[in-house]
Amino acid sequence: MNIPDQVALVTGANRGIGRQFVLELLERGATKVYATARRPETLDFEDSRVVPLRLDLLDHDSVVAAAAAVPDLTLLVNNAGISTGAPLVTGDLAEVRREMDTHFWGTLDVIRETSPVLAANGGGAIVNVLSALSWFAAPGSGSYSAAKAAEWNMTNGVRLELAAQGTFVQGVLLGAADTDLTDGYDGPKIDPRDVPRLSLDGLTTGAIEVVVDDWTAMVKASLAGDPAEFYAQIAQLLG
């Protein structure tokens, strides 16, 4: 996919990586970008190509309404997410469920409602913003890691299912980006602008999976090895 003349929808576009996706799409010549947020009044883009929309991943009616409002859609970027920090065993189960409802069920809901629109417009593409934590867990990340792991393999599943209609599905994986979501994290962080840049570069070359940073590449490379050795390494790196 070449970005000029595409019509995109970006979830969670009011800040962080989502906002950078909107800006990068505009820079690359997208015809229109539907920028979504739970509170669209928080969107402050000045470019006339940006169309604000309300979309709440936990509100099915808002997902249906957003899909109906984008008949020209050719590129969907699923970026919206949360991080509750809820432990799996001792945490508030409602918060654990909210992680899964957001990252897995909410993202899948958006895909299910918009995929017929993409099909009608020639297939298009879907980008799911995932995480290195799709592949491992760290202290304080149990709920988030489980939800992102589910979203990662859901990405693989919908890629297979949507291939027949010509829809390309890409997963984007990264460690920590310097956004509001990682305010409490003291480790290394990448520039959030790198995420859309590398993702959209990958769309032009047909990359179904984009690994953004060295940390995520290290995690991926470890998957074929002994997990005991990997977690010992992680414990050392995280102190």
Cβ pair 198, 190 in contact under 8 A: no
Give, as one character, the DSSP assignment of residue 66: H
Distance of CA 216 to the CA centre of its chain: 15
SS3 call for 93? helix
Pick from 78, 77, 97, 75: nearest CA to 86: 97
Q: What CA–CA distance (Å, rounded) separates 193 from 81?
A: 17
Find the catalytic residue in 34, 144, 185, 231.
144
Residue with tokens 């008949």: 71
**Active site (annotated) includes residue 144:** yes
* DSSP secondary structure of 102-114: IIIIIHHHHHHHH
Q: What CA–CA distance (Å, rounded) separates 40 from 58?
A: 15
Helices (H), 57-166: 60-68, 93-100, 107-120, 142-162
Instruction: Tell me the catalytic residues.
Output: 144
